Amino acid sequence: MRRPGRSATDQWALKCGENSAKIGGEILKGRWRGFPVYTLSLEERRTCARTCHHWRSCMGNRMNWADRIAAGPDLEWRLKREVALLDIEHPDGFAVRLHMLGDFYSVAYVNLWCALLQRHTALHVWGYTARHDKNDPIAAALLSLTRSQKRRAASSFASTSTAKEAISLRIARSKASASRKRP
């Protein structure tokens, strides 16, 4: 039985990467080397595209105790404040692994990340998305975001051949698997 998503106001939405053995607390290679890592998990399926190749085989199916945050205005309000505090705490840079679970759920949410990147120069983000339909406005907003923030934002698609054909987003040079800290 999965734990339900909780309100973003209960605790910090952005969790230290040290709490995830797969991610680790610091980026070890590439341009972002030395940056502390934070993660964000949203409620999967509620935020995901119905066209996601992994709808039934989502890795969240095996993550019963993952701390999922409910999407919406409370989350967005919290993210603005948390990123501002992290920007002060880590002026040389920090990275957020977006959506350990879940996905970009609206154009406004994508625009929030764009505004955060513009406002907070220490912020860097990367993650995966199943938003690949060329007619999906969220996918178009993501493409615009990664093009406008090439050095500080990277996104790649969940593994589907149609996703790679539909829209090609810039993939981070330092792949998450190569840059995570191993326990």
CA 55 to chain CA mean position, Å: 18
DSSP 8-state symbol, 30: S
Residue found by looking up tokens 């995966």 in the block:
128
156 vs 146, higher pLDDT: 146
Choose the weakest-confidence range: 9-23, 50-64, 107-121, 148-162: 50-64
pLDDT recorded at residue 54? 55
154 neighbors 172 (Cβ within 8 angstroms): yes
Task: Give residue 64's identity as a one-letter amino acid code.
Answer: N
Task: Give residue 122's identity as a one-letter amino acid code.
Answer: A
pLDDT recorded at residue 30? 92
Q: How would residue 31 be classed by pLDDT, with cut points 50, 70 and 90?
A: very high
How far apart are the C-alpha atoms of 130 and 49, rounded to whole Å? 7
Q: How would residue 47 be classed by pLDDT, with cut points 50, 70 and 90?
A: low
pLDDT recorded at residue 76? 95
